[in-house]
Amino acid sequence: MQQEHRLELGLDTFGDITVDDDGRRLSEAEVIRNVIDEGVLADQVGADFFGVGEHHRDDFAISAPEVALAAIAGRTQHIRLGSAVTVLSSDDPVRVFQRFSTLDAASGGRAEVILGRGSFIESFPLFGYDLDDYDALFTEKLDLLLRLREDGPVTWSGEHRAPLHWHDTEEILLFLEVEGDCYVYYEDREYPVASNCSVVIPPNVVHSFGIHGAGSMRTLSILPDADARPGPARQ
């Protein structure tokens, strides 16, 4: 039996700054609203895909495609929505993953991301990247994004971004031995600590909090697993 192949049709736009019937230059806000309306119309006429490009220059209106796509998602039912393209080289792969995961959830699974190096290069100096690293930035960031997509929380390191450790997204359970009145303080707030208690805190706080008070406190163990038992005592 011969498999039926369906032709899919899509549209994309950079949000070009245009003029109205009287030749008046449209504002960026007007262009963005027009792009959103175009995406809604594309869904109504049965197009399969609508893509929005990313630029950071005065002849294109859209610098945050995911926001425009989210507005389109709220007014459409079927059309797939994506970037065309996301300039990954000058973006953060973790934030790209988070933004498009959010868009995918909000749209009911209709989000797609198209990644590019940036044929227009204005985003590199804007976000503090060196054009000499043009190829290395894309290769490294693509590797991290694919790891996040396939593996979830990852441990990763590279040359152009701070490293990631899987436990950076987990809570850590501190088992504390307390004598007397003690407080944990962090960001100018203090929290009383009961005797022989456990405290669950984010891992980015674990080395930046302090204790004060009349008593004393020591950490028995620092564990990423809240169900684990305390290990050997340590100061």
User: Do residue 43 and residue 146 come from a single domain?
Assistant: yes
For residue 160, how many other CB atoms are within 10 A of its CB? Answer: 14
Contact 90, 112 (CB under 8 A): no
> Is 45 part of a structural domain of the chain?
yes
Long-range contacts: 57-60, Cβ < 8 Å, 24+? 57/120, 57/122, 58/17, 59/16, 59/17, 60/14, 60/15, 60/16, 60/17
Is the per-residue pLDDT at 230 higher than 80?
no
* 144 and 89 within one domain: yes
Least confident range of 30-39, 104-113, 141-150, 176-185: 176-185
**CA–CA dist 83, 97 (Å, integer):** 13
- Examine the domain organization and report whether 209 and 123 are in the same domain: no
In terms of domains, do 144 and 213 share one?
no
Query: Using an 8 Å Cβ cutoff, are 136 and 159 in contact?
Result: yes
Which residues sit opposite 191 in a β-bridge? 184
Residue 216 lies in a domain: yes
Whole-model pTM above 0.75?
A: no
The verdict on 120 and 211 lying in the same domain is no
**Are 122 and 57 within 8 A, CB to CB?**
yes
Residues 64 and 179 in one domain: no
Could you give the number of structural domains in the chain? 2
Residue pLDDT, tens place only, 117-174: 988 999 999 999 999 999 999 999 999 999 999 866 788 899 999 888 765 444 444 5
Distance CA 220, CA 199 (A): 11
Whether 88 is in a domain gets the answer yes
Please state, in angstroms and as integers, the Cα–Cα distance from residue 79 to each residue in 38, 49, 65, following that order.
Answer: 12, 5, 16
Of 122, 151, 180, which marks where a domain is finished? 151
Write out the residue range of the structural domain in which residue 207 sits: 170-223
**What is the DSSP secondary structure assignment for residue 122, as one 8-state letter?**
T
Per residue in 140-152, pLDDT (tens digit) is 999 999 999 986 6
- In a domain, residue 108? The reply is yes
